[in-house]
Structure 1
């Protein structure tokens, strides 16, 4: 009987990182979810959506020589920026479309690691029906027994709430939060049986444009001034509630000439090329938003910001300046 790589088990967002009895926690990495399978010298490196990523990450394919045949792992592809001392999602993203000699050069300059957090198959044995504790023990034994080296890394796991609190302070290295997993659960493909907690912070930004008319904004496009005085785009809010949109509209004014974003185009989402229909407004309204730690090299938020409240009591000059490695 042919064994097929199962669909990934998924998570549901939770507002609490509390680690209760019967659960374990793992760090949430700022990378690409991936599964790797080796079977009779055939290697599959698959993204969450089923894309074959082996040609873009040849070092992972070569690294499967360290694994026993007929073995499959679930985990996260990451790239570490040693100069900045943090994970680099941008360099990981840049590597996606590499092929051949280009991919090999990128692997030398920005090598990827596969952070394994689950064991799906071991030497021909399907392990998905095993409880988390048994799969975890077998995964740890695989690493120690085979002496696995780069590109393989074992994801930490803990049942200690103090360790979870420690991980939640690692935002500067781009650890996004934690994933909580029930100890006695099997691996259930496509089921949202895990819990995902993302570290968020509350901050201020300046409204520079909106989707929809300024009289009834759908979302707010947000900016901050950088240390050189340039008004830079940092992200967009989720869709505004009708009452919030009405309150914001009363404080927005359509852009006059000389807007710093005149002629700019915006995408519907981070990494998307689909243009966004945006209307510029004068950048004089400050809002408070909740954002997570996932940012690109320029300091832009990769995920939509959650609107908290209008801050007409603040001036744009009161908002923290944008700093990034590219400044």
Structure 2
């Protein structure tokens, strides 16, 4: 690959912020704001027909997204390096939103399934930074210039796009509060004069963070910690029935053993083991779990929910255990407590007009 920037390159990262950074009261703006995409981070390298979709860890994702490799050849400049996100849009409730589950299922070892999923759930690429164009290395140029050239060279689809951005902090705050319905994960702020620094946390990110009270429905044993809990299985009540909504699994080894002892009195029977759904690409994985009487309530932190009450809702990512809630009635843990985001269409978050 004969490019001024060659793979692998670790993408520039972001550190957590508590609020959208404001612009100075006087003078030109210092920040550019854009939605935080919740997909697979990828730096795309194209040198003619040669294409690499480099993951955050430097692995080529091209084998899992052959349709995106073809799209890059058709839609991106002949020689370029673009930082962005691989996403899978799906129609839901008459709108196009990102589908994390469909994206995750694309990572499959079987070529036949990869080919099938490429047709059924085709991926798209959303670019948000231009690192090289032709023989020019842009990494040491200010982001304002990289952004301008990105918009001039990339976008328009049907599969490769550019994210929307703004220099207005009030607009960024509005995006944070409303764009989650498109499947997004918050807001990112970038310094307009900043150069591209691989593997450095030079950007700022403001992510959604919420809490919910859940019923403890069961647990899975840990694969490596002997006599320890692997994950707590969480539920909520809908129409009077408990529904599984996800799990919480971040515990120390000592706490995993304590939890196992603590939960034994809640077992519905010493020999009762339930079977969960196998993952679609790892059907051999043991998905069995130990059901418990739905008597304990715990509070967890989460970022987003997927689905609707009609078809079922789940935490998009693993939740984080906060505390037990002995004061809560398990039947009071319903979908009604959830903060349901405004449902925006994906098209609202792609760059269409001038900033």
The answer to whether the superposition gives a TM-score over 0.5 is yes
Give the whole-Å Cα distance in 2 for the aligned partners of 1:288 and 1:37: 44
SS in 2 for 1:166: helix
Superimposed CA distance per residue, residues 47-106 of structure 1 (whole angstroms, 9 cap, x where no aligned partner): 212222223323322222333222110100111111343211111222233776754543
Shift of 1:266: 9.8
Q: Of the candidates 9, 19, 33, which is equivalent to residue 17 of structure 1?
A: 19
1:254 maps to which residue? 266
- Mapping of 1:76-225 within 5 angstroms? 76-84=85-93, 85=95, 86-97=97-108, 103-143=114-154, 148-168=156-176, 169-209=178-218, 220-225=232-237
Give the whole-Å Cα distance in 2 for the aligned partners of 1:272 and 1:222: 22
Structure 2 stretches lacking a partner, 5+ long: 24-29, 339-355
Q: Classify 1:303/1:107 alpha carbon distance in 2 versus 1 (closer, same or farther; 3 Å).
A: closer
Q: Classify 1:224/1:114 alpha carbon distance in 2 versus 1 (closer, same or farther; 3 Å).
A: same
2:53 maps to which residue? 45
Give the whole-Å Cα distance in 2 for the aligned partners of 1:265 and 1:257: 17
Superimposed CA distance per residue, residues 204-247 of structure 1 (whole angstroms, 9 cap, x where no aligned partner): 1012345799xx9897442224447244252215438x99x999
Alignment of 1:68 onto 2:71: no
1:305 maps to which residue? 319
Superimposed CA distance per residue, residues 277-323 of structure 1 (whole angstroms, 9 cap, x where no aligned partner): 97654321112222101647953324332344432222111111499
Task: State the TM-score, normalizing by the size of structure 2.
Answer: 0.74
Higher mean C-alpha displacement, 103-112 vs 166-175 = 103-112
Superimposed CA distance per residue, residues 98-154 of structure 1 (whole angstroms, 9 cap, x where no aligned partner): 7767545433332221100000111121111111111111111213xxx74221111
Q: Classify 1:206/1:190 alpha carbon distance in 2 versus 1 (closer, same or farther; 3 Å).
A: same
Give the whole-Å Cα distance in 1 for the aligned partners of 2:283 and 2:212: 25
Give the whole-Å Cα distance in 2 for the aligned partners of 1:233 and 1:42: 42
Give the whole-Å Cα distance in 2 for the aligned partners of 1:60 and 1:178: 25
2:332 maps to which residue? 318
SS in 1 for 2:241: coil
SS in 2 for 1:193: strand
Question: Does the 8 A contact of 1:30 with 1:294 survive in 2?
Answer: no
Indicate the RMSD between aligned Cα atoms, in angstroms: 3.8
Q: Classify 1:100/1:206 alpha carbon distance in 2 versus 1 (closer, same or farther; 3 Å).
A: closer
1:8 maps to which residue? 11
Q: What is the aligned residue count?
A: 313
Q: Classify 1:199/1:171 alpha carbon distance in 2 versus 1 (closer, same or farther; 3 Å).
A: same
SS in 1 for 2:151: helix
- Mapping of 1:236-315 within 5 angstroms? 236=248, 238-239=250-251, 253-257=265-269, 262-264=273-275, 281-293=292-304, 295=306, 299-315=313-329
Question: Does the 8 A contact of 2:86 with 2:125 survive in 1?
Answer: yes
SS in 2 for 1:12: strand
Task: State the TM-score, normalizing by the size of structure 1.
Answer: 0.79
Alignment of 1:229 onto 2:241: yes
Structure 1 stretches lacking a partner, 5+ long: none
Q: Classify 1:137/1:17 alpha carbon distance in 2 versus 1 (closer, same or farther; 3 Å).
A: same
2:342 maps to which residue? none
SS in 2 for 1:136: helix
Higher mean C-alpha displacement, 117-126 vs 223-232 = 223-232
